[in-house]
Amino acid sequence: MDEIMEFLKECKTSFVATCGGDQPYVRPQGFSMIYNGSLCFCTADEKATSKELKANPNVEISAANGTKFIRIRGKAEFQGQDAAEKALEMMPQLAQMVRPGKFEIFAVKGGTAVIADLTTGESKTIAL
């Protein structure tokens, strides 16, 4: 899990893919953390991301750094208020982006993360 977080930190921005009805949606994401042993990301309960993940928890997150990329795939599981408080403690500026009480954290569970290099063809799969 540390290797995944280190890669995401190097990339700075990742992209969260969800499904809404029969349409895919991809959005930039600048926050991630490990919480209670799970890889977590944030959204707000009033955003389409939250609604889409609650209707269909299948999620994929991708990021790239040069010729290396990561693809994280699994099911979104929303976490409690304690996870949201931890995220706001780690990155206080998130509070300026989301109205109070609307901030949510979701963990990606039951899937895999693949870190690969397009130049060398090397890849590593990590179970979540």
* pLDDT tens-digit series, residues 86-111: 988 888 777 677 665 678 999 999 99
- All structural domains of the chain with their residue ranges: 2-127
pLDDT at 79 over 70: yes
Please give the CATH number for the structural domain made up of 2-127.
2.30.110.10
Residue 27: in which H helix or E strand, if any?
Answer: strand 23-29
pLDDT at 116 over 70: yes
Look over the chain and give the mean of its residue pLDDT values, rounded to a whole number: 92
CB 4 within 8 A of CB 39: yes
Mean pLDDT (whole number) for 71-77 = 98
Q: What is the pTM of this model?
A: 0.91
Q: What is the pLDDT of residue 85?
A: 86
SS3 readout for 34-98: EECCEEEEEEECCCHHHHHHHHCCEEEEEEEECCEEEEEEEEEEECCHHHHHHHHHHCHHHHHCC
Q: pLDDT tens-digit profile of 41-68? A: 999 888 999 999 999 999 999 999 999 9
Q: How far is CA 101 from CA 6, 37, 66, 79, 81, in A?
A: 29, 24, 37, 14, 9
Q: What is the pLDDT of residue 61?
A: 98
